[in-house]
Amino acid sequence: MKELKDTQNEHDSRQISIDRVGIKGVRYPIIVSDKEERTQSTVATLALMVDLPEQYKGTHMSRFVEALHEHRRYLDVHSAVRLPSRLLRKLPAQRAHVEIEFPFFRLKKAPVSGMEGMMDYDVRFEIDAERNQPGTFTLTIKVPVTTLCPCSKAMSDHGAHNQRGIVTYSVRFSGAAVWIEDLIDMIEECASCPVYSLLKRPDEKYVTDKAYENPVFVEDLVRNVAVATERYNAFSWYRVEAENFESIHNHSAYACVERTIE
């Protein structure tokens, strides 16, 4: 049989290393820890990447898929964290980066009627590793919230404008991990009111009144989350971003706080 040429291992003369190269858009089943049900199964979209030294023409894309499928039918958090190290064993790289994005589902009761509806939250794991160095794990959650404008409330005699917003919350842990559900609850408590998937009329009155009683600017929202984060004593770093989809403007309002916790 004729020997097949390994083009990727050929020498490249341009003397330019590549920071990240790999595969994106891979969908794979994953099992996630769930505070109420212990685990839940969902489907993740993955990106797996490494750096490429300047002397190599290309990387071996099939080895990324090999590393992923070594976990058989499902990934879980523990196997996901080990993925970058597996990539570094298979490829001549110094750094590896893995992103795992998935919908996290939660049954949520309406505040008055108690009727249940399913909410979904976008969650992302990012794992970075360097050869012979400890890696870093970053958790990101996107949480929809309601905010009511303090300025509008102060000026108006008959109401105030409110809007749905998204809090994008990223943390790195310094100790034991915290439940995703607990972080969602913390973020919702920092807003004017949570968002629900199912509301009856008594519930709708409740959330309208609650938001009116708890007006927050987008600046208030990120500051509230920052204060709550630092009270946890569980994180080494965090970033909280808030975007309000303004109901009376043709733009969004945005704020961000990022801190390293000593």
Within-domain flag for 242: yes
Q: In this structure, what CATH number is given to the domain that contains residue 166?
A: 3.10.270.10
What does the pLDDT read at residue 165? 97
pLDDT in tens, 31-76: 999 998 899 999 999 999 999 998 989 889 999 999 998 877 778 8
Percent of the chain with pLDDT over 90: 78
Within-domain flag for 37: no
Within-domain flag for 129: no
Q: Which of 235, 245, 73, 13 is nearest to 140 (CA)?
A: 235
Within-domain flag for 101: no
Residue 186 pLDDT > 70 = yes
Domain residues for 225? 135-262
User: How far apart are alpha carbons 20 and 39 in whole angstroms?
Assistant: 32
Within-domain flag for 194: yes
H/E segment holding residue 116: strand 116-130
- CB distance 198 to 110 below 8 Å: yes
What does the pLDDT read at residue 1? 67
pLDDT in tens, 13-36: 789 999 999 999 999 999 999 998
Q: Say which residues have a Cβ less than 8 Å from residue 179's Cβ, sequence separation at least 6.
A: 33, 35
Within-domain flag for 123: no
Domain count, the chain: 1
Query: How many other β-carbons are positioned within 10 Å of the β-carbon of residue 210?
Result: 16
